[in-house]
Structure 1
């Protein structure tokens, strides 16, 4: 797989844990500028696919069709973590779009945010499909199907027109043939696809810099989608998660997915970044991403500081005592 050491974690001066993976940085022509590990490693995008899965929705301006607010429309790209303001926006969206929660294909669950989850438990509320972190994405696809006259009940099937269009757009963005893209089923029940890391990085660069997209409709949809993510960063994850922290920087388009995959596009620098942590850890994302930004000379120090504030490199135990440290140890191979 071509993984290398990305992060080492020490406790009391002893190496306790190692996170392996790969990082790729590309320019606007798709050329690999920097790599650490194998840029050809193929991985599922998981929730890092959400901005691309939203492009068919935004191509038809489904937000305008149903009179949605920006906060509501941003949820089409989100892995929301079920805070109260997420659920309020989702319920408003469902009302405006005339959708029924029971028609979501994702399962009923509790919020990912621990405080939000505790609030629902204290209120003795049952699990709900709308609490699922992917419910906004599903709502967008159902809303598009409704608008286009497609079957709303089967929107999650690989052969459905909305899923076929998602695959075509993803292939177009990555500049690969659609038949070359491996497919599986994501945690929420929708089709998901895999790409080499350098193609994920290139796709995120195009999302950040839509002038690189030749097709007018897709270019406009990408511009609107990326702007919504930056305008409403807390809707994309929550107030204490890496995706929202990065999206507070208007120069970045960013989204992570399950099992350690992440994509970032930088507008001014016109580069794309992707990474995969082989053990699927999300806890080390801030350490890795902050280190990448430092190594490429990124000038917005406040973005880097926000990442380190989320997950400090100093490891603190449950009682608040410093007990160790984590270090980004990868080196560029180009």
Structure 2
């Protein structure tokens, strides 16, 4: 998955400048695809393989939207948003994750995600919404709540099959590993990640449209105040869907356009992926000048004496 290919081009360089002098440099791969999986533009290697991490959550949530679980338990779009989230563990977000379990009559003790440092409950973990959603599916389907994180569990097989269907590949071809919360994540090419977000925002699937609506109508659930995903979706008012992943992964889809972007900073840097995302959104014209200014001030001006600069461009295919 890391082989050289005809789309490979120069990587983007993200530089931290202190009073105009380069202090640190990060390298970033990025790719834009349409809903058919065609590479539209790239920087670096669009076939680079890396774990999608939490950028997978909107697609893991398809196990909830595609099984009737939402309607069966009278779950709301706010519940669906927290299922898609990497939340900050605020009281509001923690209560929303608990609401899912309460409506499904599942004891919070069934959650197998870790208890974050300084907290007393796994409900405060940033993946608790995802885990609560999987438990809701298990409850609705009559599947065992035990071992729901294991690859062999029916809920994980369901998740894998839905994602494989979107990518047009057999589920058993996925290279799988456990994410930090214990649930499986998948090794994917960047172009596959961008394609998933293009499909998510294409408007051709009612269940994915509901996920998009939940995320864009309740962006405060997705990360938190001042978080990149939350702020971007608030500012663009339903035009973009954004979901971060750990270790420098960032994915964005343009609603109703069926186009997706995937970014990976080589060293896993958050500041590099966020700065690159802002830079590319400006380059593609996906954000207005006012939104661009707000995001640049937040994510490209980290300090009084420092600024972040992205060098290079996406090569159009």
Is this a same-fold pair by TM over 0.5? yes
Distance 2:173 2:290 in 1: 40
Q: Number of residue pairs matched?
A: 307
Q: Does the CA-based 8 Å contact 2:28-2:273 persist in structure 1?
A: no
Equivalent residue, structure 2, for 1:154: 147
Report what 1:216 is aligned to: none
* 8 Å contact from structure 1 (residues 245, 306) kept in 2: no
Deviation (angstroms), 1:240: 1.0
Matched, 1:333 2:290: no
Distance in 1 (CA, whole Å) between partners of 2:187 and 2:80 is: 26
Distance in structure 2 (CA, Å) of the matches to 1:187 and 1:76: 16
1:16 to 1:231, Cα distance in 2 relative to 1, 3 A: same
Does residue 310 (structure 1) correspond to residue 293 (structure 2)? The answer is no
Aligned partners of 2:127 and 2:181 also within 8 Å: yes
Give the one of 288, 300, 304 matched to 2:288: 300
2:255 to 267, 287, 290: 267
Task: Pick one of 299, 306, 309 that aligns with 1:324.
Answer: 306
Distance 1:97 1:303, change over 3 A: farther
- Take 1:24 and 1:35, find their aligned partners in 2: how far apart are those partners? 4
8 Å contact from structure 1 (residues 9, 18) kept in 2 = yes
Residue range with higher mean Cα deviation, 11-20 or 148-157: 11-20
The answer to whether structure 1 residue 228 and structure 2 residue 214 are counterparts is yes
Map 1:1-334 → 2, pairs under 5 A: 4-110=11-117, 126-211=119-204, 219-248=205-234, 249=236, 250-311=238-299, 313-316=300-303, 322-334=304-316
Q: State the SS of the aligned residue for 1:79.
A: coil
Structure 1 residue 66 displacement after superposition? 1.4
CA deviation string 1:86-143 (max 9, x = no partner):
1222233322221222211111114xxxxxxxxxx6xxxx431110000010011011
Residue 270 of structure 2 aligns to a residue in which SS? Answer: coil
In structure 2, C-alpha distance between the alignment counterparts of 1:69 and 1:332, rounded to whole Å? 39
Mapped partners of 1:288, 1:189: distance in 2: 29
Q: Which runs of 5+ in 1 are unaligned?
A: 111-120, 212-218, 317-321
Aligned CA distance change for structure 1 residues 90 and 27 (closer, same or farther; 3 Å):
closer
Q: What CA distance in whole angstroms lies between the structure 2 residues aligned with 1:299 and 1:278?
A: 25
Deviation at 1:324, TM superposition (A): 2.4
Question: TM-score when scaled to structure 2?
Answer: 0.91
